[in-house]
Amino acid sequence: MNRILDFLNGLDDYELAFFIKYKKDSYMKVTRKIISDFQLEKNFSEKKIDRLISENPKSKLTDGKERCPRCYSDKIRKDKVEWTNTGGGIGIDDEIATWDGAGGRATYKNEVICNVCGFWLEDPNQEKPLPTSKKILYGIWDLILGVFRNI
C-alpha cells in the first residue's frame, strides 16, 4: 500500500480534518490527488472538516502527553538538527552555541513538527516558511536587538 494511504488510515477523524485543512496543499499534485480521493471516500466535506476542527475533543485532554498546540495530536516528529542560527540570537543558550561553534563543536537542537497539521513546535533554525508579516516582524526585532547590542 501507498505510504501516504498508510499514514491517512492511521489518523482519526479529527486528525484527518486538520491534516486536510492545513497540510494537504503542501503536497505535490500526485499526492494531493490521493488525499482528495481519500477525503471523498471518507465523505469529508469542507463543512464537516470545519465542524470536526471546532469540536476537537482532544483539546480537553489532560493526559500529560506532548501534543501539538493547534490540532492536539500526539503524532509529533522530533528531529535533531545541527543548530546553525547562532548569529543574532538572544539569551544564554545562544551564547553557548556560539562558543561551541567557535570551538569546532556543533550544537544540536530539536526541531519539532506536528506530523498531522504541520505546526512547528520548535524551530531552532527558523527554517519554516514564514508568512510575510512575520518576516517583517522578525526583521524589526533584529533591528531593535542590533541597536541594543551596539550601545
Q: What residue ranges bind Zn ion (CB under 5 A)?
A: 68, 70-71, 114, 116-117, 119
Q: What Å distances lie between residue 110 and 46, 120, 135, CA to CA? A: 34, 11, 22
* Beta strand ranges found along the chain (DSSP E): 76-82, 108-114, 120-122
- With respect to Zn ion, which residue has the nearer C-beta, 48 or 75? 75
- With respect to Zn ion, which residue has the nearer C-beta, 35 or 117? 117
- With respect to Zn ion, which residue has the nearer C-beta, 35 or 71? 71
Least distance from Zn ion to the Cβ atom of residue 115, Å = 8
Least distance from Zn ion to the Cβ atom of residue 46, Å = 19
Bridge partners (DSSP) listed for residue 138:
none
As a whole number of angstroms, the distance between CA 86 and CA 94 comes to 6
Least distance from Zn ion to the Cβ atom of residue 71, Å = 3
